[in-house]
Amino acid sequence: MKFYIKREIFANTLSDYTLILKDNPVKPILAGLKIEVKDRKIIFIGTNLESTLIKTVEGDIKREGTVIVKPQLILEYVKLLDDEEIEVSLSENNLKVHQAEFVTLSDEGYPKIKEMVPLEITKTDKDIFTGSLEKCKFSAHPLPENLALNCVRILFRNKFTEFVSTDSYRLTYLKEDIPCSLEKEFSVPLESVNAMIKLLKEASSDIAIGFSDNMLILLWEGSYFTTRTTELPFPDFKGILAYNGFDKTMEFNTNEFKSALKKVMTVAKTSNETKYGAVFDFKNKNLVIKTFSGKGKITQKVNMLKEGEDFKGSLNTKFLLEFLNNISNNIMVRGTNASSMFEISEYGNKDYRYILMPLALRS
């Protein structure tokens, strides 16, 4: 095997595979990247059995062949090179890249990877799709042990697409103008969501989204990505979103609110009682945010417009700030009492909503 490839293309391709190829003590071969040179094409294949990425790139092919290597060390080396084009060749049990050699892996036990022909659901702008995932994924349960919640639920509808995530303490809902030819619902594991976002950031074209059985499939310029979806039931979020018993509405300047929250968090994050917790006192035309810990206390005031009676509630400041980081217009907060859920949204945007459960803190 021997080919010449542009250094930038080689580095970007290797970098993509570090997102899904990790050391696997049970099946070490899954840490390997397969490179096939055939039919005047250079094909990269990597899988962890949950996600698979196949990329086809251009190069100057001299000899066909196949090799399996770990990409991480090769990537570090390639990044240090100045040459615009580099030579890659296979010599006995080593892969020679420019002036360095890297140990290859035996192909024994490497899974047979075959591209599935998907049923297409939609074609969309990759920035809209990845932006929707980023605006939703932060409220998914962070640990894979909770499979039912460690995901983003994507609901492909006829005229739009919905994105939902929850960790049971909060819920994020986003409706995006992505029409679909088929109606399907999938829970995509958070690890796969993060990989898709990073992979698609470098893409320069629209993407096609489809499925085969329980696999979600994404296609874009020379790339094929599949991920297994979670089949466990997702919580019934529609009933939560349908609640309309809020009798208090507050409006804030988002930048002013964020500035106050960041200051409060410096103390709130040191609390042993409830990390990131603070008391929010909605009174007259001001919101007063207070928190204390064994290391300090802080009070911040924020101007507001309010409809309804004064009331207090305790919220997680970190959770609140994560939503504020995704909006630019004024923030709207709706509530009922200190023990009921809050709804947070962006002014003039009913398609992006955040449900946040209160904390039980002493005021």
Summarize pLDDT for 5-21 with one digit per residue, the tens: 999 999 999 999 999 99
Q: Identify the three-state secondary structure at position 296.
A: strand
Q: Which residue has the higher pLDDT, 205 or 217?
A: 217
The one-character DSSP state at 241 is H
Handedness of CA 73, 79, 81, 86 (dihedral sign): positive
User: Which conformational region is residue 285 in: left (phi greater than 0), alpha (psi within -120 to 50 degrees), or beta?
Assistant: alpha
Q: Which residue has the higher pLDDT, 91 or 78?
A: 78
Q: Is it the case that residue 363 has pLDDT exceeding 60? A: no
Whole-structure pTM value: 0.94
Within 10 angstroms of residue 254's Cβ, the number of other Cβ atoms is: 16
Summarize pLDDT for 241-266 with one digit per residue, the tens: 999 899 999 999 999 999 999 999 99
What type of residue is 163?
Answer: F
Summarize pLDDT for 103-132 with one digit per residue, the tens: 999 989 999 998 999 999 999 999 999 999
Q: What is the DSSP string of 242-285?
A: T-----EEEEE-HHHHHHHHHHHHHHHTT-SSSTTEEEEEEETT
- What pLDDT does 93 receive? 86
Handedness of CA 63, 64, 69, 73 (dihedral sign): positive
The one-character DSSP state at 136 is T
Asked whether 322 and 339 are in contact (CB, 8 A), the reply is no
Which residues on adjacent β-strands are paired with residue 215? 212, 228
- What pLDDT does 360 receive? 76
Q: Identify the three-state secondary structure at position 64.
A: coil
Asked whether 19 and 199 are in contact (CB, 8 A), the reply is yes
Q: Which residue has the higher pLDDT, 363 or 5?
A: 5
Q: Which of 49, 13, 5 is nearest to 31 (CA)?
A: 49
What type of residue is 72?
Answer: Q
**C-alpha atoms less than 13 angstroms from C-alpha of 341 in its C-beta half-sphere:** 18
Within 10 angstroms of residue 224's Cβ, the number of other Cβ atoms is: 18
- What pLDDT does 305 receive? 97
Q: Classify burial at 336, counting beta carbons within 10 Å of its beta carbon; exposed 0-12, middle 13-18, buried 19 or more.
A: middle
Distance (Å, whole) CA 315 – CA 360: 9
Q: Which of 265, 288, 286 is nearest to 277 (CA)?
A: 265
Which residue has tokens 């080593």? Answer: 94
Distance (Å, whole) CA 278 – CA 306: 20
